[in-house]
Structure 1
Amino acid sequence: MPDEMPNRALWDLRARVHGTTSGDRIYDVDSFLAGRQTLSALEREMVGEVAGKDLLHLQCHFGMDTLSWARLGARVTGVDFSPVAIGRARGLAERAGLAATFVEADTQRLPRHLAGRFDLVVATYGVLNWIGDLRAWMGGAAMALRPGGSLVLVDMHPAYQIIASLDPLVVDWPYGGGQAHRETISDTYACPGLEIEPQEAVQYPYSVGEIVTAAAEAGLTVTRLGEHVAVDLDPRSLLSRGEDGLFRLPFGDSHLPMLYSLRAHLPG
């Protein structure tokens, strides 16, 4: 795919930067090595008990969440297309003393040796907007599952992704459609204010309907779909935390969903 290399260059650079600079708001490696759990309450609830299960983490970056599942007792495999991220993930697993397998691969074309090996396939936060072929991604997730296994996806809601700023309100992103949108990125979400070497990036907007349909077309049965208006993290740093510690996306007298969560199983 012609769009892969620009995105890989961006994610190679982010994998070098994340967790290595002061002011990083997400990837605190030292506290992780000291035992910090990186998984949110929502994803832990959606995934459920993992002890003794085989878990495949798609788009795992440099492995902190993957290894957090390992700490909960899962046998984990992480996949990412960035060789820098995979190299760092393997090093982090060694430093943490945790068993894990990390595979360098495009999640739109998962290796066949992963087929039918997993009880759970998990992907969270900033996932499908980087995927040009949604059907291939869902098909790969289904291929990796054992019969009866489940895909769990927690990601940014399309209603949240369309908004560039709140004051003033600027909407600059389609709700869906899957068409490629190109831009040059010179910062990183984890380190506000840190400038990086500009990189071309390609992203793809999908509606909730398109995502659910792709899961169904891959042979998965959707058993749970949630849309969440009060969440404990703001993936895009657009909002202020409320007095209760949660983030909300205001819209008139109400709120728009910031995240969606999907659980689907492979029949059998």
Structure 2
Amino acid sequence: MNRKSFDDGLVANRILWDARARAHGTGPNDLFYDVDSFLAGRQTLYPIELELAGEVAGRDVLHLQCHFGMDTLNWARLGARVTGVDFSPAAIARARELAKRAELTAEFIEADTQNLPADLAGRFDLVIATYGVLCWIADLDAWMRGAAMALRPGGRLVLVDLHPMFQTLASYEPLVADWPYGGGEPQREAVTGTYADPNLPMEKQEVVQYPHSVGEIVTATARAGLVVDRLSEHTEAQFDGRRILPQGPDGLYRFPFSDTHLPILYSLRAVSPQTRAQ
């Protein structure tokens, strides 16, 4: 990918996420960002990332693509010393405001996660990124190198994201797939509204997303010098941000296929070696 294409995608996507950062949590039908309940103590984290992260009290945690900070601040509630990074200035401004309202301590930094500030190097026990992460990343290797750079020796990366196969779907009923499985080539489209609240009025916006397969993600992790110690594929989830799957009687979402279920999410945990190569 040439530099102009990379930069054009970054600019377009930042405009989208600036708009979403200003809008999310402001409507009565927002399914993901209920700010009032968060301020009252609601836990926004899901069991997958909580299990993979383990005990975070007293640890230094870097949250990549933190949006306006609700999950970041929930890690702080669990006792972590947290830093959130996002490329959207609107998101970072809102995150800092939310931290004050919640009376929680966190540092928020405006930066592209494909080009993290050098002063984050070696500062963190955990780097965490969850849900709707890598589809916005043009340079997967740069993202993984940044995560590895930020970790102390023995530190861990925890990544939970939509499964690349699930992302190929345009609809479940009827079953229509219209997105590549991997390859990383830019996929341009015009989007309206937002996954959090389809009733929020938002202008149509051109965006660019990038499909990465599970194999490409694991390979980029290894190339960054991290050691994968856990990779899981999950066939059920507590939410469907794409709003295309049926919800079961137990409240969980699944992707039925024949007499089984296909994965909706994947999770990856990788460790920074105790001794780094020179």
How far apart in 2 are the matches of 1:102 and 1:115?
16
Q: Which residue of 1 aligns with 2:130?
A: 124
Q: Residue 202 of structure 1 aligns with which residue?
A: 208
Amino acid at match of 1:78: G
Summarize the alignment of residues 8-27 of structure 1 with structure 2, pairs less than 5 Å apart. 8-27=14-33
Alignment partner for residue 162 of structure 2, among 147, 156, 170? 156
Residue 266 (structure 1) shift: 0.3
Q: Does 1:33 align with 2:66?
A: no
> Can you give the 5+ residue segments of structure 1 that lack an aligned partner in the other structure?
none
Q: Give yes or no for the alignment of 1:238 onto 2:244.
A: yes
Asked if residue 75 in structure 1 is aligned to residue 75 in structure 2, the reply is: no
- 1:216 equivalent to 2:222? Answer yes
Alignment RMSD:
0.7
Q: Is the Cα–Cα contact under 8 Å of residues 246 and 255 in structure 2 kept in the other structure?
A: no
Which residue, out of 87, 90, 94, partners 2:93? 87
Taking the TM superposition and a 5 Å limit, the aligned residue runs for 1:169-180 are: 169-180=175-186
Which amino acid in 2 is paired with 1:219? G
124, 137, 140: which one aligns with 2:143: 137
Alpha-carbon distance in 2 for matches of 1:185, 1:167: 21
Instruction: Name the counterpart of 1:47.
Output: 53
**1:100 is matched with which residue?**
106
The number of aligned residues is: 268
Alpha-carbon offset, residue 66 of structure 1: 0.1
Amino acid at match of 1:250: P
Unaligned runs of 5+ in 2: 1-6
AA matched with 1:144: A
Deviation, 1:193, is: 3.1
Alpha-carbon deviations, 1:70-120, whole Å to 9, x = none? Answer: 000000000000000000000000000000000000000000010000000
Q: Are 1:114 and 2:120 an aligned pair?
A: yes
4-13 or 238-247: which moved more?
Answer: 238-247
User: Moved runs in structure 1, 4+ residues, more than 6 A?
Assistant: none
Q: Does structure 1 conserve the Cα–Cα contact (< 8 Å) formed by 2:191 and 2:207?
A: yes
1:203-237 superposed Cα distances (whole Å, 9 cap, x missing partner): 00010000000000000000000000012121211
Q: Please state whether the residue corresponding to 1:184 is helix, strand or coil.
A: strand
CA distance in 2, matches of 1:152, 1:97: 26
* Cα distance, 1:187 vs structure 2: 1.1
Aligned partners of 1:51, 1:118: CA distance in 2, in Å?
13
Q: TM-score when scaled to structure 1?
A: 0.99
3-state SS of paired residue (2:95): helix
